[in-house]
Each structure stands twice: as structure tokens, then as C-alpha cells.
Amino acid sequence: MGLLQADVALATGLSGPYLAGRQASFLGDYGSAAHYYGRALAFDTDRPELLERAVLSNVSLGDVATAAALAERMNDLGFNSELAQMALVARYALDDDYAALVEAIEGKRGMGPLGDGLVKGWALVGQGDLNGARTSFDAVGKIQGLASFAAYHKALALASVGEFEAADELFSTGAAGGMANTRRGVLARVEILSELGRADEAENLLADSFAAYPDPALDALRAALSGGKDVKFQQVVTARDGIAEVFYSLAGALSAEGNDDLTLLYSRVTEYLRPDHIDAILLSAELLDTLGQHELAIETYDKVPTDSAFYHIAAMGRAEALRTQDRLEEAADVLKGLSQSHATLPLVHATYGDLLRQMEDFDAAAEAYGHALTLYDAESEQQWFIYYARAITYERQDQWEAAEADFRKALALNPDQPQVLNYLGYSLVQKKIKLDEALDMIERAIAARPNSGYIIDSLGWALFKLGRYDEAVPHMERAAELMSIDPVVNDHLGDVYWAVGREREAEFMWKRALSFVDWEDASEEVDGDRIRRKLEIGLDRVLADEGAAPLLPSND
């Protein structure tokens, strides 16, 4: 083969998998992206953009070991990439090669300023240099915005070597900031207080930090503390654990910014360094589900062992991933099994009820919600949603008295909850009863959610039902702006326009409503035949044929 032919073969062989890899990356299909970039690299092993894309897809996939090997290749070729360095930092940490970690960070070959100082601090802990670790953490604390991160990790590092008094001081003085109030932060301090023989304070901290609802992990910890058992510091035991915690802390910070793709990289590295880090596994799975990678999400949820205190969370997440793919029967099987294996957890039964309601098995859904409510020791605000969901279930079964009672119970527990106010108010409007109260409820809901198209639609519709047609117009128009493809809103606006004599515009909106009736099953409330009838003979005659009251303004 001549040189020209060889070049053509190389270009042809490279371009196919490269383009396939790019498309897979665009779609968030990390498995396919890793596969195709790997094939592309077979044709050009030294191309930096290929190597970096392959590193990215493999870390996102959870194959940090492969990513680290590719990153090492980039490093040998002299290509600088913080992503590649992240993978190498992870491998050094997994190998407990703390000298290599310190050397890389001091040589400006770390993963960037966000985490280098914290990782270096833990690496020095791994080398037994606690004074050097303190210095490294303190240096990070001087960087704007990182003081609480630095204090939190310094506290964990001190606790990991038995300096519990010094660790607790960082928590008690507030130096760890919001990090101390995270679930893992609270549990770390609870364990530190226990190590200091202050079990009563530890119990009080648990009670103050977490709502008193069944949680297997917290229940076990409460029982151990109240039973006088020694609760050891387990949040971070080794320097490798500490570095994993750095990645998890950064994932948490990035998660708050809504950057799911980047957050996933940090949670994946956490999993790689500490396979028993259940919080990281659950975060990765949740991110994957959000990113549309439902099968990968299911695989990740499956990493949580059945004897874990968090197994029910993983199983519910797996069921949600199945539900998102319309695999409702499979999701129901998961939740039915969970309702038997974790029968004392109200959240499990309520979640099962939500799925049964979606499947329109309303009798079983109401039963599941009812069972969930019996599992609480005392009435509390957090139960409002179960009453609200059961109310919807009863309403769909035309059991209005039971539905209204549950709606009002939900409001008694959470008086200003906009979802409940809107649903109950709108239902009363549809039933043409208690209209003044309904209007008040919807106005309160709008005060809480002023940009909610659904609630603004409810207000416009309530005004329409009250005969206040002119007042209804701007609200319905605003709802249509916010929800331009919703058939209910378009249909309602058509009716309002007709009522104020804007018949051409009414017909236009009814036609729009018809065009969206089947839009992803957007609504079960729209009667396409009725809309067509309105287009043929007008709303007044449709109402007359139905035996309904004629359109009359409120002053008539």
C-alpha cells in the first residue's frame, strides 16, 4: 500500500468511529462514546482530543481505571488536561501512592485549584505528616469561597487520626460552615461526639438535624447511642477515604449549580476510590437518570447491596428509572417487593401508591397511601403530600367527599401549600361549588407561585365560572403565554374569548387546543369532540345543548 493509500485508509478508519463517538457524547451515551473513541484511538493513538474525549466518556461511564490509563498516555505525550490529571490523581489515591500525589500537585499536574489543596492535605495525612496536612488545609481556607471546605476536611482528617477534640472544635465554632449541616457532616460530628463520650449531645444533634420519620440508617444510629454502645468514627477512616470525600464534597457543590455532566465525573471518582460510598452511588445514579441514561442509572442503583440501610432508596430510584421508560409493570414489581421487605417505611408505600395512581389502579393506590399513613407514630406536616395524593386518587374515583376531606387535611397540615390550594380550588370551580372560597384558594396559590401557568389558568377559569369574563381574560392570556402548547389552557382561553365577544380569537384558540390534544398525552381533561362542536355551533349553543347555564356576566 502506498503512502497516499495509507493516509486515506487512516482517515476513513478514524472518521467513522470518531463521528459516532461524538454523536454518542452529544446524546450522553457514555458507553457507546467510550467504545467508539476507543476504536478511533486504534487508528491514531496519540491524538490529544481523542484521548481526552475517551477519558471523559470512561470516567462518566464509571470506568476510571481505563480513563487513568488513557490519561497516563496523555501525560507521557506532554498534553496538559485537568480531566486527565483528575483520573491520574484518582489512580494514585487508589494505589495509596501519596508521594506521587504530592509530587503531581506540587508540580502543577493536579486536577485544578478547586481540589488540589484538599487532596494534598489528605495525601500528607497518608504519609503521616499531620502538620503538613494542617498547613495545606489552612492554605485552602484562605482561598475565597473555600474556607468551609477546608475546615470541614481538616476536621475529618483530625478525627481520622484520633484528634477528636480538635475536630469537634472546628464543627462547634462554625468553621465548617454549611458543610457541617449536610447529612454526612452531621453524621461525622455525631460520631466525633460519641468518641468524646458525649452521647447525649450526639442524640440531640441527630434529633435537631433530621425529621423524626423512619430511616433505617438513622434509626440504627439512634438505637446504638441510646443503648450505650460505642459509636466509632467511620465517616473517613483512611487517607484514601478522605480523598474520596474531597471528590464527593466537590460533587455536592457542583450539583447545587446544576452542572450534571461535571458533577457526575466527581461522583464517579468517589465511587472508584470508595466502592462502599453509598451516597456517591446514589448521586451518580440520580444524575444518570436525570441525564436520560436510565439503563446506566439502573446498573448504578444495583450497586447498593440489599443489606444496606439505603437499599430502599436505591430500589425506589431503580423503579423511577423504569417508570421513566414506561416500564410500569417492572417498576411496580420492584416497589411491591420493597413494600414487603421494608414494610415499616411509609415512604415506600407512598411511592408505590404514586405508581399505582399513574397506572390508574386507584383502589390499590388509595390502599397504599392509607397504609403509609398508619405507619407514622404521630401526625406531622410531612404527611401533607400523602393526604394530597390520596385525595387526587379519590377524586379520580368520583369519591368527592373523601377527596375533599383529604385535600382539607393536607391544608390543615400545610396551610399555604400551593399545589393543594390550586388543586382543591380548581376542583371546586369545576364542580361549580363554593366558588368564592375556591377563588380565594387559587389567589393564595398564585401568591406563592406567581409564575405557575397551571395556577394562573385556575384563576382565570374561576373568574370565568363566576361570570367575571373581562377579569378572566388577562389571566388566561398569561397562562397561555406560560403554557403555549397545553390543550386545557388553550381551550379555556377560547371559552373566555367567546364570552367577551372575541369569537374569531376563540375559534383560533380552540383550533390550537385541538392540535395539542394528543401532545404526549398532555391532558385527560380535554374533550376533542366538544371542542369541534364549539367550532361548529359556538359555545352558547353547546352549553344550551348540555343543559348548562348560559353565559352571563356577573353583573347580570
Q: 391-420, pLDDT tens digit by residue?
A: 999 999 999 999 999 999 999 999 999 999
**Which element (helix H / strand E) includes 139?**
helix 130-141
**Quick check: 359 and 386 in contact, CB under 8 A?**
no
Give the pLDDT of residue 6: 36
Give the pLDDT of residue 407: 97
Section 110-125 average pLDDT: 91
| 262 and 163 fall within a common domain | yes
| 132 and 234 fall within a common domain | yes
Is residue 40 very low, low, confident or very high in pLDDT (cuts 50, 70, 90)? confident
In angstroms, the Cα distances linking 497 to 437, 507, 537 are 25, 9, 15
Rounded CA gap, 241 and 237, in Å?
A: 6
Provide the CB-side half-sphere exposure for 368 (13 A, CA): 25
538 is a domain residue? yes
Domain boundary at 258, 274, 290, which? 274
Is 70 exceeded by the pLDDT of residue 14? yes
Give the pLDDT of residue 1: 36
459 is a domain residue? yes
- Count CB neighbours of 1 within 10 A: 8
429 is a domain residue? no
Query: What are 128's three cell numbers?
Result: 503521616
Reference 454, options 539, 520, 523, 400; nearest CA is 523
377 is a domain residue? no
Positive or negative, the Cα torsion across 188, 192, 197, 202?
negative
Give the pLDDT of residue 5: 37
pTM assigned to the model: 0.86
Is 50 exceeded by the pLDDT of residue 341? yes
Single-letter amino acid, residue 299: E
Is 60 exceeded by the pLDDT of residue 9? no
48-92 pLDDT tens trace: 889 999 999 999 999 999 999 999 999 888 888 889 999 999 999
260-305 pLDDT tens trace: 999 999 999 999 999 999 999 999 999 999 999 999 999 999 999 9
Section 233-252 average pLDDT: 95
Single-letter amino acid, residue 307: D
Reference 63, options 24, 32, 36, 34; nearest CA is 34
Query: What are 127's three cell numbers?
Result: 504519609
Task: Give the domain extent around 146.
Answer: 106-274
Domain boundary at 274, 292, 326, which? 274
| 268 and 139 fall within a common domain | yes
Is 70 exceeded by the pLDDT of residue 352? yes
Is 70 exceeded by the pLDDT of residue 151? yes
**Quick check: 464 and 472 in contact, CB under 8 A?**
yes
Is 70 exceeded by the pLDDT of residue 109? yes
379 is a domain residue? no
Rounded CA gap, 249 and 298, in Å?
A: 24
Give the pLDDT of residue 489: 94
Average per-residue pLDDT for the chain: 91
Helices (H), 414-499: 418-431, 435-448, 453-465, 469-482, 487-499
Report the domain count for the chain: 3
| 144 and 231 fall within a common domain | yes
Rounded CA gap, 170 and 157, in Å?
A: 11
**Quick check: 554 and 468 in contact, CB under 8 A?**
yes
122 is a domain residue? yes
Rounded CA gap, 243 and 123, in Å?
A: 8
Is 90 exceeded by the pLDDT of residue 228? no
Give the pLDDT of residue 177: 87
Helices (H), 238-397: 239-255, 260-273, 278-290, 294-301, 311-324, 328-341, 346-358, 362-374, 384-396
Give the pLDDT of residue 555: 53
Give the pLDDT of residue 427: 93
Is 50 exceeded by the pLDDT of residue 193? yes
Is residue 234 very low, low, confident or very high in pLDDT (cuts 50, 70, 90)? very high
447-475 pLDDT tens trace: 999 999 999 999 999 999 889 999 999 99
Is residue 135 very low, low, confident or very high in pLDDT (cuts 50, 70, 90)? very high
Is 50 exceeded by the pLDDT of residue 4? no
Is 90 exceeded by the pLDDT of residue 377? no
Position of cell 480523598?
243
| 146 and 268 fall within a common domain | yes
Is residue 13 very low, low, confident or very high in pLDDT (cuts 50, 70, 90)? low
Position of cell 352549553?
543
Q: What CATH number does the domain containing 66 carry? A: 1.25.40
538-547 pLDDT tens trace: 999 999 999 9
Q: What CATH number does the domain containing 534 carry? A: 1.25.40.10
| 3 and 75 fall within a common domain | yes
| 73 and 171 fall within a common domain | no
Rounded CA gap, 538 and 510, in Å?
A: 11
| 464 and 524 fall within a common domain | yes
| 69 and 192 fall within a common domain | no
Give the pLDDT of residue 441: 95
Is residue 207 very low, low, confident or very high in pLDDT (cuts 50, 70, 90)? confident
295 is a domain residue? no
Is 70 exceeded by the pLDDT of residue 379? yes
Is 50 exceeded by the pLDDT of residue 7? no
pLDDT over 90 percentage in the chain: 72
Domain boundary at 46, 80, 114, which? 80
Is residue 210 very low, low, confident or very high in pLDDT (cuts 50, 70, 90)? confident
pLDDT over 70 percentage in the chain: 95
| 119 and 69 fall within a common domain | no
Query: What are 350's three cell numbers?
Result: 407512598
- Range scoring the smallest mean pLDDT among 42-51, 477-486, 488-497: 42-51
Is residue 494 very low, low, confident or very high in pLDDT (cuts 50, 70, 90)? very high
| 120 and 269 fall within a common domain | yes
Query: What are 135's three cell numbers?
Result: 498547613
Is 90 exceeded by the pLDDT of residue 156? yes
Positive or negative, the Cα torsion across 32, 33, 38, 39?
positive
Positive or negative, the Cα torsion across 499, 503, 508, 513?
positive
| 64 and 194 fall within a common domain | no
500 is a domain residue? yes
Between 43 and 118, the more confident residue is: 118
Give the pLDDT of residue 11: 46
